Amino acid sequence: MTSTLTSTASPRAATADRPLPRALARMLSLDDFEAAARKRLPRPIFGYVAGAAEDNQSLRGNRQAFADYSFSPRVLVDVSRRTQQTELFGRRYASPFGIAPMGISALSAYRGDIVLARAARAQGIPAILSGTSLIPLEDVIREAPGTWFQAYLPGDPQRIDALVERARRAGYETLVLTVDIPVSANRENNVRTGFSTPLKPSLRLAWDGLTRPRWLAGTFLRTLLAHGMPHFENSFATRGAPIVSSSVLRDFSARDHLSWEHVARIRRQWPGTLIIKGILHPQDAALARQHGADGIIVSNHGGRQLDGAISPLRALPGVVAAAGGMTVMMDSGVRRGSDVLKALALGASFVFVGRPFNYAAAVGGEAGVSHAIGLLRAEVDRNMAMLGINHVREMQAELLTREYPRAQ
């Protein structure tokens, strides 16, 4: 299902009368935000955002997949009329990328979920609110209409129905079902950095906070004073457990029996756009189409679930071929405008970026996220010019060359 074509707000950028803060002016790429966030965030919080599963094979593979492709640009093409505006589910967005859902973002930045959603709306791109966020979904869409909601399916049909109805009543038009978490992943790297679920107060955690006074005062204590202990607000139709509660693990269990029948049930109930996130196999793309999904997001959860899972970029061509014209998007490993364009060339209609925008929120709040969006947008624009294209839909596979490693 699609909504009426609408125009988003005009993207904002730093101007001569509103220059970037000095700390943000030093951020020249998305990777720069990661280095800055490492210094600002307590080690357990940064470790949670940066961490992946087991041996990080999928995390590394996501980046390597982009390096396996080189551009074959065209020259002497008039590219003075280039635009990266993209239509998606009846809406026009300013760029072919958006902000992926990220859990507990409000521990990285004060009101982090609202910060991400507001910046995305101001810059004319979509943001997806995570089901494991710490701010009620009603508050987020009130601040940033047009935000998408990503849900992890609860363990029984009644809870599923109630959560879907809650999102509909709140005004969400796009529902994203993440389906690659039948069980919790082995994120031993999080444990090594001191992060646990539930979050356990400890001397180590206290020391990490004390040595990051800007985070301690500006994010954690400010949250406690204004809103109390953070809870998982959007896992169910009712408020979930606080982040320090032992019941958190119980709340996220009982997903191993979920099936395509649950998707069909949601499709009958949900009147808006329905997207399935976490697809890597072509047969699952075909099943998503058969069960009424409007689109899919090819994703391996940023390497945070099944370690060794194929990178979404490598999975794209096969998934697109099986999707039968259904909208195919992707996330995981995107760090440059060149990555966005490579994904589009291999069949994606849109791309989502996660960790870098979380880091940007930690470093500079809404202004930081807006700056990060602007950096990625500028890279897409420059690369389009140098590739010889005027519109992102001209980004085809013929402009890519597959690089094969040389034999040693």
Describe the chain by its helix, strand, coil percentages, rounded to 5: 45, 15, 40
CA-wise closest residue to 36 among 338, 354, 334, 361: 361
Please indicate if the annotation marks 354 as binding a ligand: yes
Q: Please give the positions annotated as active site.
A: 301
Q: What residue spans define the domains of the chain?
A: 23-189+249-402
Choice among 139-143, 257-261, 324-328, 330-334 with the minimum mean pLDDT: 257-261
Please indicate if the annotation marks 335 as binding a ligand: yes
Alpha helix segments (H runs only) across 247-292: 248-251, 260-269, 282-290
Read off the pLDDT of residues 25-76 as tens digits, 9 standing for 90 and up. Answer: 999 999 999 999 999 999 999 999 999 999 999 999 999 999 999 999 999 9
Please indicate if the annotation marks 178 as binding a ligand: yes
Please indicate if the annotation marks 101 as binding a ligand: yes
Kind of pairing between the strands at 86-88 and 148-152: unpaired
Please indicate if the annotation marks 299 as binding a ligand: yes
Q: Is pLDDT at 15 greater than 60 in this prediction?
A: no
Read off the pLDDT of residues 186-227 as tens digits, 9 standing for 90 and up. Answer: 888 888 888 877 777 777 778 888 899 999 999 999 999 999
Number of residues in the chain: 408
Read off the pLDDT of residues 260-308 as tens digits, 9 standing for 90 and up. Answer: 999 999 999 999 999 999 999 999 999 999 999 999 999 999 999 999 9
Please indicate if the annotation marks 103 as binding a ligand: yes
Choice among 68-77, 170-179, 254-263 with the minimum mean pLDDT: 254-263
Q: Which CATH code for domain 23-189+249-402? A: 3.20.20.70
Please indicate if the annotation marks 301 as binding a ligand: yes
User: What pLDDT band is residue 249 in, cutting at 50, 70 and 90?
Assistant: low
pTM (two decimals): 0.93
Q: Is pLDDT at 14 greater than 60 in this prediction?
A: no
Please indicate if the annotation marks 331 as binding a ligand: yes
Q: Which two tokens stand for residue 397?
A: 């596979």
Max CA distance (Å), the chain: 63
On the 0-12 / 13-18 / 19+ scale of CB atoms within 10 A, 260 is middle
